[in-house]
Chain A
Amino acid sequence: MTSKNRPAAGQVPARRSRQAARAAASRETIPWSLGIPALLAAVFLLAPLAGLLVRAPWLGLPRLLGDSQVLDALRLSLVCASAATAVSLVFGVPLAWVLARWQVRGISVLRALVTLPLVLPPVVGGVALLLAFGRQGILGRLLDEWTGITLPFTTAGVVIAETFVAMPFLIITVEGAFRASDRGFEEAAATLGASRLTIFRTITLPLIGPSLLAGAVLCWARALGEFGATITFAGNFPGRTQTMPLAVYVALESDPEAAVALSLVLLLVSIAVLAGLRDRWLTTGGAR
């Protein structure tokens, strides 16, 4: 009886270890050598946000945010970031399509150069913009001579600076999507009588919809936070070129409480964007 119930020697440890392995597999235990750095990274990323929330002058917030200069900066930031995104969509999407589809020698060099602003320090971008579109710049001088329009230190200059820095984010996202998209659908549309432009509008663009949205959001967020190129090319004039990041920087010198309050507003805007796009971007777009 007992000998029957008792498992043979050597069987117990084998079974136990197998059970342990099975449990480990289903739980996915994390080795400490990865877990500890991961924890530190998470703390490092979240601590400043927590600091912002803890030290925010919650009581003085209505007064600070009611200040017309803050409202101006917020309005200017939203308008300019949206305008920069719109400009990027109108010109960047066609450029992304050309980069993805035009098979000529040198196109990869063009692609690398076009996405250079991704890695270029924004201040350098601002200086370069001055040399191109400034009053004495190679293009700016012509623009001034022909139309009398000057871009530096204007709201339009803010949009230009933000577009320069943010458009590459849209381009690389959308270019990758164009490259990966199934050309078969476009061929099918062609056999049904659609022109190139109609195919682009009715087939190509809708099929890369999630990537287009992801690229536009990245672009908008990058434009919203733009500092270096903006202050270099457009200056820091309240109501005209002083966007939120610039206002935060200035406030930090004169009124640190206000700087915290402004930062909080930018943080809330960012969180709102993330939350609003959670389903469409973080899952669908992020998985691509």
Chain B
Amino acid sequence: MTTNPSGGDLVIAGTVERGSFRLEADLCAAPGDVLGILGPNGAGKTTLLRALSGLEALTTGSIHLGSLTLDDAATDTFVPAQHRPVGLVFQNYRLFPHLDVRDNVAYAPRVQGAGRRQARAAADTWLERLDLTALATRRPHQISGGQAQQVALARALAADPSFLLLDEPLSALDAKTRLEVRGHLRSHLDQFPGPVLIITHDPLEAMIMADRLVVIENGRVVQQGSPAQVASQPATQYVARLVGLNLYTGTLDAATRQVLLDAGGTFTVTLGDDDAASAPEGQPRRPVLVGLRPSAISIHTVRPAQASPRNVWQGTVVALELLADRVRVQVDATPPALVDISSAAVGDLGLRPGTSVWLSAKATETEAYPDPGTHHTS
């Protein structure tokens, strides 16, 4: 297949309002980019996809693909889904139940004017490329979920789209199939020349499949960045929980390197390199986020002796959860924290819900970075 000539950056800057829900989208994907759209249910991820694919119109703002205007509320321009060079893989695939696999994949070429024979030949090419030839004459209900996912991708690609959207592509699959399909999918997406957006609520999936993550919460983009950056410096509690970090908001006093936490308490912190560089002059106090790995916190039954600069605070064990190789202890304190320790340590310390404990964390493990929610400069 030839690359569609209408390629270019996919840029959306606008809002979609539906009843009381409002999505503010402002993002850009270049050809070859694989963007992971991460967010909780109801955050507006699917609305974003529907706006990009032309199933829904923007309330304000515009969508461009290269020099092509797909939607512009100001000039009342709207290209409907039928005429957009989009490939959309739906969450539950939506394979046409009355057509076999080949005719599903042949659907786009057929409705775009190819003859029956020509459309089927095009479908066979895609089936072969995705290793699905054996399924050509099966009906959708006769194939597995993983196969259906691949067929849905083949059907979308057969339309020769300029950009590709995938809505929770793996969520309908069981854990084992998901692992297999994820590998396939990644390699097919890498071959796709245009921009790709993958919606997911699974951070691991997002990090494996995507080059860049966009976190959406409550209809707003709250963070963008590389998977590593998002994982190490989450901007919101939602992302912190997903990647298993303790996250605190607070106000930094740059001179003393003390952060007054919103949840109560004070931390002595290390400042990230980029943060130290970007610290605005004449603004000694500013809002920051403090990320703390559960394994970087130590737990004690007596107050630890003060040695190197570190943070020590007191609390009560609320719950213990056995993870694969360690125990996650939930501690109610000021501020509250999740702490990972070995199961042997749980026994040695005699921890159980209600136990009074001391927590400590080295200042070098306690990193503060700017709060993108308040320093929104994108």
* Interface residue ranges, A against B (CB under 8 Å): 184-185, 187-196, 198, 202-203, 206-207, 209
CB distance from B180 to the nearest CB of A (A): 24
Pick from B81, B92, B96, B98: contact of A191, CB under 8 Å: B81
Cα-based distance from A202 to B82 in the complex (angstroms): 15
Asked if A198 meets B111 with Cβ closer than 8 Å, knowing A185-B96, A188-B96, A192-B155, the reply is yes
Q: Which of B64-72, B83-91, B283-291 interfaces with chain A?
A: B83-91
Pick from B94, B111, B156: contact of A194, CB under 8 Å: B111
* Interface residue ranges, B against A (CB under 8 Å): 53-55, 80-84, 86-88, 90, 92, 94, 96-98, 107-108, 111-112, 155-156, 159
Asked if A190 meets B82 with Cβ closer than 8 Å, knowing A195-B111, A202-B111, the reply is yes
Cα-based distance from A191 to B108 in the complex (angstroms): 9
Cα-based distance from A193 to B112 in the complex (angstroms): 6
Asked if A192 meets B94 with Cβ closer than 8 Å, knowing A187-B55, A187-B81, the reply is no
Q: Which of A188, A189, A190 has the most CB of B within 10 A?
A: A188
B92 — nearest CB in chain A belongs to which residue? A184
Asked if A190 meets B94 with Cβ closer than 8 Å, knowing A195-B82, A195-B111, A202-B111, the reply is no
A207 — nearest CB in chain B belongs to which residue? B98
Pick from A185, A191, A198: contact of B86, CB under 8 Å: A191
Q: List 7 A-B contacts (CB under 8 A).
A: A184-B92, A191-B55, A193-B112, A194-B82, A194-B107, A195-B82, A206-B98
Cα-based distance from A26 to B81 in the complex (angstroms): 54
Chain B residues closer than 8 Å to A191, beta-carbon distance: 53-55, 81-82, 84, 86-88, 156, 159
A188 — nearest CB in chain B belongs to which residue? B94
Chain B residues closer than 8 Å to A198, beta-carbon distance: 111
A186 — nearest CB in chain B belongs to which residue? B94
Pick from A187, A189, A192, A207: contact of B97, CB under 8 Å: A207
Chain A residues closer than 8 Å to B97, beta-carbon distance: 185, 207
B83 — nearest CB in chain A belongs to which residue? A193
Asked if A193 meets B90 with Cβ closer than 8 Å, knowing A202-B111, A206-B98, A207-B97, the reply is no
Cα-based distance from A202 to B86 in the complex (angstroms): 20
CB distance from A194 to the nearest CB of B (A): 4
B82 — nearest CB in chain A belongs to which residue? A190
